[in-house]
Structure formats: structure tokens, C-alpha cells
Chain A
């Protein structure tokens, strides 16, 4: 079967859609999208890479998983063993069974016997913090600046979903979030707070210690990213799955990052490529090729997100009732965009009034449309 231009365009869209679904924690639909890409464009390397990543990370048979999802297991089976998000057993770590928290909470405490590592009063999420507290930037606690990064892996009520985010902050030691503990990896639930998960990450910090107080957030972000990659590389953050976006080993030099960015762009992974060139630009804002790639990736992503929105002059409405909205998994930026939807304001105007980067606002709208929250 030959692949037409239209097929390729659709395949690119599906790749992005799959990545977006994956980021939202919807593994099942994400896999569906990538499988569809292979139907349209057999041998598409990026779809194969994504599927391989999922197979290896979660130790699952994708076809069986998809089939299984269509026929849910009996209640006592909790989860299919092949679909488990079982972290490798590491000394000092807490093993987290793959499980459906929503189901657990709904169906009663007797099922909790099957999930010993997680206390029953945990709510629907478990977070893992990789804390990069340097401790070397100020002479005494409470003085000067401290930096830390946080990588969050969230298992929400759909146990197969994984969401990762990275925050880097500058703050005085006194202002630290009490949940953030130095040089450790924690599993944290909304219930009783934190559980130690693994101890590692100290070794990645010497570079931070050498930085002055005027270090930029972008530079910190880059260092923290590298640090996290190192943790993942050493297996120190056992049980912390690598983010999909960083599935290939991240290149550390600008040339390496650019090479990977080029490859990603050729494969149609524009958001992956954009993220890499942003790293290059954080180091060198004048990098010409990175700037060109930055613009091109943004243009392509704009086109894709906009095609999902359709007519930008359309004034969308909220499709959910107030009480349903609070059950969505949104952050405050998405919450803000959602609050601007009133059936009178067009997509274009919402983007204008958001005060956000245009691409970010368009991406959020596209996601809200995809998830049927607005339309």
C-alpha cells in the first residue's frame, strides 16, 4: 500500500494527538493513535519508537493491552499483569502495584489487601519527587537562594496514565515546600504525605553548587533536566519512568541536541524538536539554526493545533456541567482558559486575552476540544 500526502499529514497529526493523550495519562487512546499511524504509514519510525518505548517501559504487549481494555477484567483481577507499571525492585524503594485507584475507592476496602505498598488513605494520585536541593548556594539555612527541581510522575485514577512535569524554582530555604526533602526521591500521596522511594541524586549537584545566586531559571532548568536524565540513566530513580519526550538518550551538547532536533522534525515530532531547540536557545539565544528550527516547529504545531480547532472565529461553549468540570484533570492555566469560554468569545479572542504564549494557549484549547470539555 502506498502512502499518500494526505495519509502522511494525518499520520503526523495522529502522532501529536497520541503524544498529547499520553501526556494526559490516557495510554489506551495514545496507543490507538500510534497504531493508526502505522496503518496509514507502515514503518513510521517515530510511531514505532513510541510503541517500543511503551512496550519496554511498561512491559506490556500493546495488542493484548488494547484488546484487554475493550473487555475490562473481572473486579477481583485488579489489573492485568502484563499491563503493570511495576518498577524494578530496588533496595530502599517502595514497590507500587499498577492499580485502578478509582476502582479501589469505589469498590470497598477488601480490595486494598492486594495493594500493600500504598496506604489506603492515599487519594487518587501518587507523586514521585526527585529533589535536587543543593544546599550549597547559601552559607546558612534561610539565607540567599536555593534551587531545586521537581519531577512529578503522577499515577491518576486511570492506573495506566503517567504524567510528568518539571518545575524549577528559586526561593529561600525557609520558603521551601515542606514536602520537598533534600536529596531523596519520594512517593507522595494526597493522603498521609510522603513515603521515601529511593535515595539518589546527590551526585548530580556539584554543578549547582558552583553557581552564583544570579543564576537564571532557564539555566537551572537545564541543569535539573540533565540531573534527572542522569538519575534515570543510573537507575537511581527506580520506578520513575522516563518521560516519553526524552525517550532517546538526551544529547547534552548543543550539537547533539540540534542533531536530535533535526531528526525529530524530519519524523514529524515537532513538539519534541521544539523542546530540544528550546534547550539549545536557553544556552545560546543567538544560535541561528536553533532559532530557525524554533520558528518552524512552532509554525507546524500552530497549524496542527489550529486544524483541531477548526474555524478560529467560532465561539466555543463549555460542554460539561460545573460539577463535572471539577473532576477533570486540569492545571490552573487550563482552568483559566476554560473560564474564558462563554459561548460568545471566539477561539481567536480567547487566545488573545489569555496573556499566554500563543502556541501554549492554542495547544490548551486544542486539548480541551479533544477531550470534549469545550466545543
Chain B
């Protein structure tokens, strides 16, 4: 049976879920963790690292480790997010050939969809490991504010990873689905999502299976890492410097350990009232001595260090609720940071209602994606989300204003027309500038494309009418047509969201990824075969002395021992050289030798 997975492709962590017996379940990775850090690195020897292992070397191999790539997804070079990232990240961000932002790891430049594809592929492999089947389709979640380009980039990432992304759904919508908000509900909910690197607040109106986004707010540079940062900077580094006059931040290894320990302590303090951070041998002094870091941390102290961060999220919440202009019926908590008691308390105070927290906050978005994935497969779950336009679509009009033709949250497919008139005397042409966004000022919205309709009749301003039609088909492709109502002459363009990757580039990346997978699998096979050989060798060497004692006295025995030594020596050389075919043939010879030895020992025995 075909399976579709649901993936929460997060800024800091990612998670995959699948429907099992009518219940969505989150799948664990090889390390037993249900979430996988959205971190990709290339090690010194060129090996690609993903997830926990990549995160754990993020400080010691900072320039070749990409984290929070989602912040760059679908962003143009020069956009505010890219500029902020350029200033704050240790890895190198470069301009791509299509004015997109890309990252450089070692000597190779990667597009952002490629980086995300590595994470999506990891999710796919986790699901394949669990199901034992090949997985080719997925539902992937994105923040509610993602525009077409960012959604398209996410789809492209899926394609590179060998996944057909059937549906992109909003993260708050997925969270609501996981909490059981479905077809027969009519409510307004707030989804408070405080993750590792970003904060999002979304107000949704759910009615008749349509999840309408009323308002979104957030801060893409505020999350759990900032809380960890306070523990590191305002407590651990400061206290250590006071005691030893040593700045631990200067040592990459010490800093990596501080980060890991701060995150661990923060998590512990969600359930415990006190914890202790113990980091033996954190740094060596000029002499031969290594110093230990030992620091108790209470929940009260953590709250004191981070209260302003929590207050920042609450301020954003208040403004977003005001923008939505509706009474909130329910509040959902999403993201690992919402386990912090202080966060729960402040959210409760802000909304005046007890937040729902029945579903694991790290897994809730993936679970919702899993539910939607199953619903796409067969409509037995009673849930079928309708695709809606995430932003308003329209054209720029006189005065730099934005005239909306298709409002945000309109279900697709749809088509809308509007008649405009000329604004100048004897105007013979009009420029149609197609945009998307929520601002009334055109300059603050995103340009999708433009074209010129010529051959207008020279006439006083306002006398010539032009009909502009927007058409969005079921695949989300937008067509814009401008028609001169005087003579029926028309001009049109089709706007296809682009992630900044050309078709040719996409094909190359898909091929490279497939080649990479083949290489990894063959390397794994070599390792497995090598391991078999090493095990057989160990066993043979263990029994060799007894066999030698038994057989050494006979000519035929000496001959057998000589041959066995030859087999051992050839196997060792083959292992050292990593020669797959030689190891395989050695394995057979080792097996025969071991059998022979066992036979000899049994006879003695």
C-alpha cells in the first residue's frame, strides 16, 4: 500500500509522522530521538553530516555547518533576512545565479532547497527504515507567512530528496489538525509556536474544513537558542571568568560543551526545580592543569535570566490578536520551548484561557501533517483541507498603491476580474505589475511579474478601460490577463512561483543526490562486509593457539596452519585496503578456516 508521510521541516528541528492503524505516530531516528536537528554539515574529510551529529560539531566546525537554513528559504539576495543572516552566521552565504541566497560548505556552493532536501531525505530514510517500504510522497508544513516562492522552494527541496510534495500546509493548521480540529468545528484559535530558533503566533478561523489565517506575527530570530544563550553568557561564562579569569567563549570545544549543557539544563528545569551543570576538564590552563566547571542552576534563576524573552513573545501575541480582531476560543502550544512553565504561565495570562497541551509540542506539527497525508490518500478521516492562497494577489496602481484582486485565504481554483482605467491624458499603454502581499503600499509587497499592454486609444484620462483578470488553477499557478475593453486586444502572463533554481539545476541536483545515496549505500555495504571479516578474524585468532598446539606436530597440520596464516594475512590486507571484492572472497575463506578450526577443537573437546 502506498504511504504518504507528514514532515514538519522546522527551522531548528524536523520531525516525521505517518498514520498507523488510524492513529498518527511520530517516527524515531536511528539515535532514538523523535526530532532531528535541521542541521547539515560537511566534515573535514568531506563527509556529509545531518541531524544530531551535525549539531554536535556545529561550534567546532562552525564555518561548514548550516543551521536554520529555513530562514533563507526562497529569499532573494539582499532581502532583510539574508542580510541579518550574513551578519550573524559563521557559515558563508553567497549570491546564487538567480539572485537567490546560497551557502558554501567546504569548496561547494549549495542552494537552500538542496540543504533542506538533505534534511527531508533524512526524514524519508527514517520513514523507510520504519515501514520497510520506499516512500515517495509527502505532506510538508511551512509557516503560515511563507509566500509562493518559499513554498515552491520547499516543494523543490522535496523533489531533490526524491519526494513528491503533494501538499504544503501551514504549520498552525497542522497543529490544529493534530488537536482534532477538523471539519465540523467552528472556532477561532491561536497557535503559539516557540521553537528552537523562531517564534510564530497565528490566529486561525476554522469553519467547514477551511482553515483561514486571520493574522500572523512572530520573530524569525527568537527561540530556544536565545534562552540557551542567556544561560551560557549571563551565567556560565560570567561565573567561570570571575573564578578563573578565563573566557570560555574563546575555546570552540568549551563553547560547544557549554551549548550542549545549557540546552540540557534548560530542558531539565521544565520538570525539576534545580539542576547542576557539570563540565569536567572544560579548559586547560597554561600549565598542565585542566579546570572543571560546576554550576548549580535553579528554575527561578533561569526565569530571571530569560523573562524579557518571554515578554517579547507576549507583546507580539497581543498585537497579532488585535490584528485578527476576533475573540480567541482556544490556544495551542507548539514547540519545545512551550514546556517551560514560565512560558505557559505568561501565555495563559495573555489570552485569559488555559492553553491546550495534550499533544507533545515538538511533535504536534508533524502529527498534523501525518493526518493530512493520510486524508489525501483516502478521504476516510473526515479531514480534507482546501488549498487557500496564503497572500493577497493584485496589481500596483497609481500612487504606488496595491489593488487586491484575490484576497488572502481564498480557496483555489479561483478567478477574479476588475476593471481599471487610464490615469493620464492620451495614455497609449499600461504597465501591469503583478504582486502579492498584505500591504496597501505596493513597494512593501512582493513582485511576481510584469507586462505591458500597448495599443490603447489616445483619450482623456479615465476614458479607456482595461479589464484585469487573475486566474489561479488547482496547482496554484497564477495567470494574469489584461484586456483592452475598447478593442478586445489583450496581453497575459503566467506567474509560476520559483525557488531560484532553474530546471536544469534541479535535474543536476536530483541526479547528484541519487548518486550520493548510491555511494553511501555502497560504503555501508563495505563497512558491513569489513565488520564480518573482522569478527571472523577475531574468532580465528582466538582459537588459533589451541589449533596450532593440536596440528603443529603433523605435516598436514603444519600445511593447514600455513594456509590459515595466508588466509588471515590476505584478509587483513583486503580490510586495510578497503577492497570490497577482496574482502568478500576473504570472508568465504575465513568462514572455511573457522569451520575447519572448530572441527579440530570439537575433536579434541
Contacts and interface: CB of A to CB of B under 8 A. Distances in A.
A352 B287 contact: no
A344 B59 CA distance: 20
Given A152-B287, A353-B57, A355-B61, A335 B531 contact: no
Contacts of B31: 344-345
A354 B44 CA distance: 10
B88 to A, nearest CB: 21
B526 interface: no
A150 interface: yes
Interface stretch (A39-47, A231-239, A276-284, A322-330): A322-330
Interface residues of B, number: 38
Interface in B532-557: 534
A303 B252 contact: no
A167 B286 contact: yes
A190 interface: yes
Given A331-B281, A333-B253, A358 B53 contact: no
A334 B281 contact: yes
Nearest to B294: A326
B393 to A, nearest CB: 46
Interface in B25-55: 31-32, 43-45, 47, 49, 53
Contact of A355 (B253, B279, B281, B282): B253
Most A CB contacts (10 A, CB to CB) among B45, B278, B288, B534 go to B288
B280 interface: yes
B290 interface: yes
A322 B278 contact: yes
A356 B254 CA distance: 13
Contacts of A336: 253-254, 256-257, 281
Contacts of A332: 251, 253-254, 281-284, 290
Contacts of A138: none
A127 B289 CA distance: 10
B56 A180 contact: no
B124 to A, nearest CB: 21
A355 B286 contact: no
Interface string A182-196: 000000101000000
A169 B287 CA distance: 12
B290 A352 contact: no
Interface string A306-349: 00000101000000001001100011111110111000110001
A335 B293 CA distance: 11
Contact of A152 (B61, B283, B288): B288
A110 B280 CA distance: 33
A167 B282 CA distance: 18
Contacts of B257: 336, 339
B588 interface: no
A344 B57 contact: no
B527 interface: yes
A21 B36 CA distance: 40
Contact of A313 (B47, B288, B527): B527
A167 B284 CA distance: 12
Given A303-B576, A313-B527, A349-B53, A355 B252 contact: yes
Given A332-B253, A340-B56, A358 B278 contact: no
B253 A352 contact: no
Interface in B369-409: none
Given A163-B288, A345-B53, A5 B569 contact: yes
A352 B280 contact: no
B543 to A, nearest CB: 14
Majority secondary structure of chain B interface residues (helix, strand, loop or mixed) = mixed
B164 to A, nearest CB: 32
Interface in B509-541: 527, 531, 534
Nearest to A339: B257
Contacts, number: 92
B292 interface: yes
A353 B441 CA distance: 49
Most A CB contacts (10 A, CB to CB) among B32, B56, B260, B281 go to B281
Contact of B57 (A152, A154, A325, A352): A352
A219 to B, nearest CB: 21
A187 to B, nearest CB: 12
B259 to A, nearest CB: 11
A112 B286 CA distance: 29
Contacts of A163: 288
Contacts of B282: 332, 335
A358 B45 contact: yes
B79 interface: no
B286 A344 contact: no
Most A CB contacts (10 A, CB to CB) among B32, B59, B61, B287 go to B287
A313 B284 contact: no
A364 to B, nearest CB: 12
Given A303-B576, A330-B281, A331-B281, A180 B286 contact: yes
B60 interface: yes
A59 interface: no
Interface string A354-372: 1110100000000000000
A165 interface: yes
Nearest to B62: A355
B376 to A, nearest CB: 35
A331 B292 CA distance: 10
Contact of A311 (B59, B260, B531): B531
Interface in B283-323: 283-284, 286-290, 292
A326 B292 CA distance: 8
A177 interface: yes
A374 to B, nearest CB: 14
Interface of B: 31-32, 43-45, 47, 49, 53, 56-57, 59-61, 251-254, 256-257, 260, 278-284, 286-290, 292, 527, 531, 534, 569, 576
11 contacts: A127-B288, A150-B287, A152-B287, A326-B292, A331-B284, A335-B290, A336-B256, A339-B257, A352-B53, A355-B59, A355-B256
In the A-B complex, the 6 residue pairs with the closest CB atoms: A335-B281, A355-B60, A353-B57, A336-B253, A332-B284, A353-B56
